[in-house]
Amino acid sequence: MPLCSVTVYADNIEDEDISYNNMHARSVVARTLECTTFAIPAPVLPGAKILAYTAAHVSNFSTPSLIPLLDFEPPAGGLNFCNISITYTHPGQQDTVNTQVWLPDVWNERFLGNGGGGWAGGFIEPANSWAISQGYSAASTDGGHAFTTPVSEWGLISPGNVNLYALQDLASASLSDMAWLGKSLSATYYGKSPAFSYWNGCSQGGRQGMMMAQRFPDVYQGILAIAPAMNWNTFIPSTYWPQVNMNTLGVYPKACELNAFTAAATEACDALDGVTDGIISLPSLCRFDPFTLVGKNFSCDNAPSTYSQQTAMIVNATWNGPTTADGKSVWPGLTPDSSLLAQANTTCFSNGTCTGLPFNVGSEWIQYFVMKNASFDLTSITTDQFAGIVEASVDQFQSIIGTQNPNLSAFRDAGGKLLTYHGLADEYIPYPGTSMYRDRVEALDAGVDNYFRHFEAPGFAHCFGGMGAKPINALQDLVDWVEKGTPPNVLKAKAPARADGKMWERDLCLYPSISVYQGGDPSVAGSYKCI
């Protein structure tokens, strides 16, 4: 609980220059006195006006994380840190951004910026908790709107007019602000600047990390961008493609039928890599045709059912991804072992009828940003119109949130290191988006592996989950690369325990290498080779 809290509004902030040494030996009482707005004056944030600024020392803090990626075992006695909260605006833009910087009592002299997910600019409490538990000073931002605030309340400033400043805050502005605040306050509190600065984020947080590398190349020495939601203007509207096909057909399959298609495809393509392990390790070789199931029987919610032609059409469209009216690919689809329930989901009622349940970020992006109409009827979109909607998304918002500039020369020249990994069974963000971006970077610079390394994770879902192996500690791999000059050639990974209780281990291979089974115990990493 906070031991001391002082709120200072912008007009009352005083300038002081206080240095702190030997912080690790300080008592909680001393920490309480040091963690005040008088001891730590508000930094000057370029281009912004601070509206409110608080500092409070927190002792014995613990909270359950609702985000599996950020789950950890807190130390005995909880976490002890100085919590600094900053509310500010960019004058003339009528925005309000909230950022929190947490400064742990025991500091490893590193700063960690944390990303968000979905529409959230950041997951402040769980992200910062995990970071300071590892010794980092940490920062997270709401990106200009609260996590709980629906896009309907901030996406438009009036009918037909996008709130471009709010979108810019989420896309980039709040990210550079957060780094400035985090590093500046770390230097004031500890008496010296962080020796190294890192970024950590998945999905939206991964996109944010890529934005930092592309647009603010000298801010972070190391960036971990997991399953990055870059290529935003193409991939985000593309997530609505399965729903367009459902609406066109007037058919909304039950979840159990969609899951049955996934299970059948996984069974058919599982052994392509030489081992049957419940995942598709080589999705590019999987040629499973969903129409081969049509007319066959299966069990759906413990009731006999038959695979339908219409559901096979929806599944096929989801796996192939959106196309133009003449059949040209707009964006890749999902791999056959990815859950269909992220993009092709439905909700069913007691009377047996079902309706579409789209991924909200994709549907809201089309409704509020591309169409700029809160009342726009998404079910009116046809398959022939869809490519035009994606094109409009790119045309209007590429410079704000596209995040797909392959020129990383400034990041490279600043000495930065970029580490990404992406699950091949990602149900929200098709994995080829990241590998295609990496290929575009290599097309400009054959020495890409010297500063940008990408890994693919068979069977791993979006950020967490799935049957595949997840990297054990990719952030530490990045730290070793930055600080010791040892680039990772593989990422050590573990899969969830199987029915027999055995944990499967598997090294993730440096792209474009793939992991190939060599024989032996398939649960042992040594049974695979990167080729």
3-state secondary structure of 486: coil
Contact in structure between 414 and 217 (CB atoms under 8 Å): yes
What are the CA-CA distances from residue 150 to residues 96, 107, 237, 269, 374 (Å)?
A: 16, 36, 18, 40, 12
For 115-152, give one letter per residue: b (16+ CB within 10 A) or e.
bbbbbbbbbbbbbbbbbbbbebbbbbbbbbbebeeebe
DSSP summary character for residue 104? E
Contact in structure between 198 and 222 (CB atoms under 8 Å): yes
Of the residues 145, 422, 454, 462, which is catalytic? 462
Residues with Cβ < 8 Å from 522, sequence gap 6 or more?
A: 275, 277, 504
Rounded-to-integer distance, Cα 321 and Cα 232, Å: 15
Contact in structure between 307 and 293 (CB atoms under 8 Å): yes
Cis ω before 522 (30° cut-off from 0): no
Of the residues 203, 281, 339, 515, which is catalytic? 203
DSSP summary character for residue 503? P
DSSP summary character for residue 185? H
Residues with Cβ < 8 Å from 459, sequence gap 6 or more?
A: 277, 278, 279, 280, 281, 337, 423, 424, 425, 466, 467, 468, 469, 495
Contact in structure between 197 and 110 (CB atoms under 8 Å): yes
Of the residues 142, 177, 426, 507, which is catalytic? 426
Nearest to residue 426, comparing CAs of 265, 239, 227? Answer: 227
If one counts every other C-beta atom within 10 angstroms of the C-beta of residue 18, the result is 12
Rounded-to-integer distance, Cα 422 and Cα 458, Å: 9
- Please name every residue paired with 365 in a beta bridge, in sequence order, or none if there are none: none
In single-letter form, the type of residue at position 129 comes to: S
Tell the burial category of 379 from Cβ atoms under 10 Å away from its Cβ (0-12, 13-18, 19+).
middle
Positive/negative CA dihedral, 397, 401, 402, 407:
positive
Rounded-to-integer distance, Cα 408 and Cα 3, Å: 45
Cα–Cα–Cα angle for 159, 161, 92, nearest 5°? Answer: 125
In the residue annotation, 426 being an active-site residue is answered as yes
Positive/negative CA dihedral, 296, 302, 304, 309:
negative
In the residue annotation, 462 being an active-site residue is answered as yes
Q: So which residues are the catalytic ones?
A: 203, 426, 462
